[in-house]
Each structure stands twice: as C-alpha cells, then as structure tokens.
C-alpha cells in the first residue's frame, strides 16, 4: 500500500542531494509549516488565504508531503470562489494532516542523524 502522507522517494532524493544538511532541511520545513498554518488561521481575506495556501502547497510538494499538498491545493482553489463558507473545515483537515506528518518528519530527522553518525564513524 502506498503511503498517502509521505513520498519516500522524494525524501530519499532530498537526502541524497542535501547530505549533512538534510536534517536542517527537515527542521526548516517543520518550522515553516507551523508558521504557514498560523498564517492560514489568521488570514482575513481570500487573497491572503489563497497566496498562503499556494506557498504552503509548493513547500509540501517539494518535501514529499503528498496529502498536505493536495489539501493546500484544494484550499487554494476554494479561495478563488466567491463564498468561503465552510473553509474552516478544510483548514481543520490541513491541521489534522500536519499533526499526522509532523512526527513522521521528526522520525525521518532522527533516522538521518543516526545514519549520519554511523557513516562518520567509519
């Protein structure tokens, strides 16, 4: 069964490219995502909501957060509609998905640090 939350191939490619900076990249993504979630909750107009969702979608996509990128895309599209009624439910889904993937990225970070320490010993 395919992982609906993370694209492990994207993470592997990022680790290969980033090498020792991979864990920093994961930390940055988590901190940035927390900030973007806060911005989504504070957005008081459709334009801000759409721009934040668009930006968040891009970073999620780049980091292999499949479902979160999908939800951000839905939010971006919804922000273009006249009525934002019910948008809170979609933002809540984004919150829930981030709550699922955050520990997955934290585990990935710990694994990469352990791998890095093992490689340095040899």
Q: What is the CATH number of the domain that holds 88?
A: 1.20.120.160
Residue 77 CA: distances (Å) to CA of 22, 43, 52, 82, 83:
31, 15, 12, 11, 12
Contact 65, 10 (CB under 8 A): no
pLDDT at 1 over 80: no
pLDDT at 82 over 90: no
pTM: 0.91
Residue 55 lies in a domain: yes
Percent of the chain with pLDDT over 70: 93
Residue 1 lies in a domain: no
Residue 51 lies in a domain: yes
Give the residue-averaged pLDDT of 21-35.
97
Give the residue-averaged pLDDT of 8-34.
96
Give the residue-averaged pLDDT of 66-86.
94
Residue 32 lies in a domain: yes
Give the residue-averaged pLDDT of 50-74.
97
Check residue 118 and give its pLDDT: 67
Give the residue-averaged pLDDT of 96-117.
92
What is the overall mean pLDDT for the chain?
92
Number of domains making up the chain: 1
The confidence band for 115, taking pLDDT boundaries of 50, 70 and 90, is confident
Percent of the chain with pLDDT over 90: 83
- What number of other Cβ atoms are within 10 A of residue 62's Cβ? 13
**Which residues constitute the domain of residue 54?**
8-117
């Amino acid at each position: 069964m395919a992982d609906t939350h993370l694209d492990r191939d994207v993470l592997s490619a990022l680790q290969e490219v980033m090498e020792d900076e991979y864990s920093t990249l994961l930390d940055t993504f988590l901190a940035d995502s927390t900030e973007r979630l806060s911005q989504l909750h504070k957005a008081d107009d459709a334009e801000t909501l759409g721009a934040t969702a668009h930006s968040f979608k891009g970073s999620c996509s780049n980091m292999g957060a499949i479902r979160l990128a999908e939800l951000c895309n839905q939010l971006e599209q919804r922000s273009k509609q006249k009525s934002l009624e019910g948008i809170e439910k979609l933002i809540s889904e984004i919150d829930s998905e981030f709550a699922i993937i955050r520990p997955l990225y934290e585990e990935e970070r710990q694994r990469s640090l352990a791998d890095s320490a093992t490689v340095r010993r040899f």
